[in-house]
Structure 1
Amino acid sequence: MTQDVKTEQSINHDLLYSLHDKPGFWPSSFAALQHVLASLVGVITPTLIVGGVLGLGEHIPYMISMALIVSGVGTFIQCRRIGPIGAGMLCLQGTSFAFLTAILSAGMIVKSRGGTPEDILATIFGVSFCAAIIEIFLSRVIHKLQKVITPVVTGTIIILIGIPLIKVAMTDIGGGFGADNFGALDNLLLAGIVLVSVILLNRSRNPMIRLAAVVIGLTLGMVVAFFMGRLDFSNLGSLPLVSVPVPFKFGFQFDLAAFIPLAILFCVSAMETTGDLTANSTISREPVTGPVYMNRIRGGVLADGVNSMIAATFNSMPSTTFSQNNGVIALTGVASRFVGIYIAAILVIMGLFPVIGGVLQQMPKPVLGGATLIMFGTVAVAGIRVLSQANLDRRNMMIVAISVGMGIGVSTVPNVLQELPKTLANILSSPVAMGAITAILLSLILPEQAHAEESDVDTRVTDGEDDAAKKKLGEVG
């Protein structure tokens, strides 16, 4: 995170519009459109994945509409700052990839019990609503959270978020769960076109092309799929003209086994939001220490929790601040929080029309998989980057090794938990929950001073080896 902040700060030599400036209509609209393009895929992709994996087809257009509307409302709250809620900076709020693994696990729990799509959604949104309260509470004590959620714990959890999602992306590349033509050459061709185009566009010298690489890649994939006869828009006429937000449209259900992994992830999300807001403050030339900074951090994390509750209420998944928008601020020189109002308006207007969700639902799985393979791989690499900032001594290496091993282990061999009580087995079957619980417990149990003693021993051994080597060299001489 520190290196990223320095890089973005060096790019941002001068701001055209600072935090409290009010650009005119056209500059604000243009800047807002760039933010939307940079974040659009992140807002809609989790819904497409959850809907596809859990078989929620008929509800996907409505859920995409709600994801866009809720992201707009959340962005408005973050930028406008309503009372103590919001960072008061140009922060775009959107659906978070971090919760995908836990949400899919929650859906599978309900599905294994014979639950209907409505039961699955009622549980996902009910549990998300309750778990968001955790982040709201943590916003008041965010400065103390770092003592428990250390970089070692955070990095481990982020790796365990990304790795299972790579399997989802590869399944989509093959054609999707249960596809009759799984692994067919045309599926691999579509995914390859998207994958290669995103890679090439990401290497462009034009920063705006790099930011929109995934959107352009997906659009290209959709065009190719159209000429291959893989798109069918015949059902768009049956969609309503406007999507009306309905609180808890699918009901409200709670499941403890689904709640615990999400509660843990809200702790991690609070730490990630702190980092993103710090980077935003740096780029916007605002304080990164002192009472003003801490007030913004608390308000931003509080808004994350409140916005996630709003998201659950209106049938969307947990949301968080998007880090990619910091890059847009650095490139455009527009840090005005009033641009957030334009971003919010664009997202809400897009969400009001379910035909947008209907078109996106027709995106062939291989097209989506070609893009998400990169995105989910990036999530895992982000975890490795967080770990690289930690002191990976013998103690911390042990924590990471055991936690990652336990997390990946239960996801690949779930039957190892079959003799445990059903609720406990469901909780620990989530790689994120298993890895997070293991990492947190080991961090609390294993003494910190162990690595200092180890360093002393290593120094003594090294000194002894050096003395022996010098003596031997003298004898040879």
Structure 2
Amino acid sequence: MQNTQLFYSLEQKPPFFKAIFAAFVHLMAMFIAVITPSLLICKELGVNDMDTGRIIAMSLFASGIASLIQIYKIGPIGSGLLSIQGTSFNFVAPIITAGLLLKNKGLDDAQMLGTIFGTLMMCALTEILISQFLPLFKKAISPLVSGIVVLLIGLSLINIGLISVGGGYEAKSNGSFGNLKDLFLAGSVIAAIIFLNLFKNSYLKISALFLAVVVGVLIAYFLGDFSFQMNYQLPLVFLPQPFYFGIGIDWSLVLPFVLVYAVTSLETIGDISATCEVSHQKLEGREYFLRLKGGVLANGINSFVSGIFNTFPNSCFSQNNGVIALSGIASRYVGLLVALFLMLLGLFPVIANFALQIPQSILGGATLVMFGSIAATGVRILAKEKITRRSILIISLSLGIGLGVNNNPDILQFLPKWVESVFSSGIVAGGLCAIFLNLIFPKEVV
């Protein structure tokens, strides 16, 4: 990508129709990925359609605001690049685990959501602080640690994706889990993704996820599992209502969320570096460091703002770097259009209505690929590390503890309740193990 010719650089403004086309390609590359985390979390936690629709709509709206902040620097806040933001997949598994924990404590849906959003907002300070101490932070959480945590996130999410493929928890409860129709719909989405990636046309590859879901929806429509009818319970317009579900904090959720925010900061550094590369910006020196610092700072502020608007944390989307590389357009003006489109889409419930009607098995087919790619990203990060006895030992112990706790959390049932609540997440258990071992094992061990 580094040899890509730029037709329009960072500060240049393409002709209107060319800018609209580039913005539309960015939207196709990210749209499904923006709405899916909220949809999955709400479905797994049993949130009603009205509240789910609001959260989906606000995920689009908040992504637009976050992209504006990231692209158009406000003082030290933002990278100043065409860096599009969207709802982060990193938080899906921890939020579902947190929501189930809160429901077990007797909280109703509104209280549960308000507590999750409030705790996420407080923990967003993690990225704000990290942005001010980047050199120190990178020593504690090295690429080895980051790769392990990203791999754990991906492997944890794959199970959620597979449950969606079979029809979700509702299908499990009524005995229809894994029925042939759901498997066929999920399989059609996966087959469409594979088919579209066989073509040499790079725009088809970038839009494969969006187009594959469209294919799955059309098949579901002909099978009678999807309807284009409007849900008239939804209002004509979703006006943003800050703290719609109230706000609260659960201290047992702080450590899991802090760890995921820390890893997201490292991913942001990688994403912004890639955006600098495809945008022909410097990858060293003071200007580059300020972009990284501003980008991570914006990430934290954007996740805080997302909580205000009743949706989940935001992060930079790496797939949009591919659009810049293919189109040769790195103009921030295009980013402005993308941000405005996202905000507008978030105001109209017809988008949420469409998302709510998509059969879960179709989302499962798409998310299985997305979650697998998160795990693959973890492998790719680890592959950049020199494989020594030290790194093998850290990886082995961290994955063993993380996946073991994730699959059998009841192993902690006789420990103090605060220990059980903190370490019941395999991501936290494995991630903290990786951080601890990375700090205590001397680098020279081979």
TM-score (norm 2): 0.97
Correspondence for 1:141? 133
Correspondence for 1:471? none
Correspondence for 1:261? 256
Cα drift, residue 381 of structure 1: 1.0
C-alpha contact (below 8 Å) 1:61/1:355 kept by paired residues: no
C-alpha contact (below 8 Å) 1:236/1:359 kept by paired residues: no
Cα drift, residue 251 of structure 1: 1.1
Cα drift, residue 204 of structure 1: 1.5
Correspondence for 1:131? 123
Write the letter of the residue equivalent to 1:446.
F
Correspondence for 1:397? 392
* Mapped partners of 1:255, 1:204: distance in 2: 49
**2:404 aligned counterpart, secondary structure:** helix
Count of aligned positions: 442
* Mapped partners of 1:152, 1:160: distance in 2: 12
Which runs of 5 or more residues in structure 2 are unaligned? Answer: none
Answer with 142-151 or 167-176: which moved more: 142-151
Write the letter of the residue equivalent to 1:296.
R
- The answer to whether structure 1 residue 283 and structure 2 residue 281 are counterparts is no
* Mapped partners of 1:384, 1:418: distance in 2: 32
**1:84 aligned counterpart, secondary structure:** coil
- Relative to structure 1, is the Cα distance of residues 363 and 447 closer, same or farther in structure 2, using a 3 angstrom cutoff? same
* Mapped partners of 1:239, 1:15: distance in 2: 44
> C-alpha deviations, 1:200-253, integer Å up to 9, x for none?
112221111101101111011111111111124556122101101111110111
Cα drift, residue 427 of structure 1: 1.1
* Mapped partners of 1:331, 1:448: distance in 2: 40
- The answer to whether structure 1 residue 15 and structure 2 residue 10 are counterparts is no
> C-alpha deviations, 1:60-86, integer Å up to 9, x for none?
111111000000011111111111111
* Mapped partners of 1:215, 1:232: distance in 2: 18
Answer with 54-63 or 155-164: which moved more: 54-63
Which runs of 5 or more residues in structure 1 are unaligned? Answer: 1-7, 452-477
C-alpha contact (below 8 Å) 2:153/2:427 kept by paired residues: yes
Correspondence for 1:67? 59
- Pair member with larger Rg: 1
* Mapped partners of 1:311, 1:25: distance in 2: 30
In structure 2, which of residues 43, 47, 66 is the aligned counterpart of residue 52 of structure 1?
Answer: 43
**1:9 aligned counterpart, secondary structure:** coil
C-alpha contact (below 8 Å) 2:164/2:363 kept by paired residues: yes
> C-alpha deviations, 1:306-333, integer Å up to 9, x for none?
0000001111101101111110000000
Correspondence for 1:420? 415
Aligned positions of 1:229-240 closer than 5 A: 229-232=224-227, 236-240=231-235
Correspondence for 2:243? 248
- The answer to whether structure 1 residue 190 and structure 2 residue 188 are counterparts is no
Aligned positions of 1:130-209 closer than 5 A: 130-179=122-171, 180=174, 181-209=176-204
Write the letter of the residue equivalent to 1:118.
A
Answer with 110-119 or 167-176: which moved more: 110-119
* Mapped partners of 2:64, 2:408: distance in 1: 40
C-alpha contact (below 8 Å) 2:230/2:350 kept by paired residues: no
- The answer to whether structure 1 residue 356 and structure 2 residue 347 are counterparts is no
Write the letter of the residue equivalent to 1:121.
L
**2:86 aligned counterpart, secondary structure:** strand
**2:139 aligned counterpart, secondary structure:** coil
- The alignment's C-alpha RMSD in Å is 1.1
* Mapped partners of 2:193, 2:48: distance in 1: 27
- Relative to structure 1, is the Cα distance of residues 34 and 427 closer, same or farther in structure 2, using a 3 angstrom cutoff? same
* Mapped partners of 2:441, 2:41: distance in 1: 37
Correspondence for 1:293? 288
C-alpha contact (below 8 Å) 1:256/1:423 kept by paired residues: no
* Mapped partners of 1:24, 1:348: distance in 2: 22
Correspondence for 2:214? 219
Correspondence for 1:304? 299
In structure 2, which of residues 7, 20, 23 is the aligned counterpart of residue 29 of structure 1?
Answer: 20
- The answer to whether structure 1 residue 441 and structure 2 residue 432 are counterparts is no
* Mapped partners of 1:371, 1:344: distance in 2: 24
* Mapped partners of 1:36, 1:259: distance in 2: 33
> C-alpha deviations, 1:404-451, integer Å up to 9, x for none?
111110111111000112222011010111011111111112222222
* Mapped partners of 2:253, 2:314: distance in 1: 17
C-alpha contact (below 8 Å) 2:398/2:431 kept by paired residues: yes
Write the letter of the residue equivalent to 2:31.
L
Correspondence for 2:112? 120
Cα drift, residue 267 of structure 1: 1.0
C-alpha contact (below 8 Å) 2:406/2:425 kept by paired residues: yes
TM-score (norm 1): 0.91
Correspondence for 2:310? 315
Write the letter of the residue equivalent to 2:245.
F
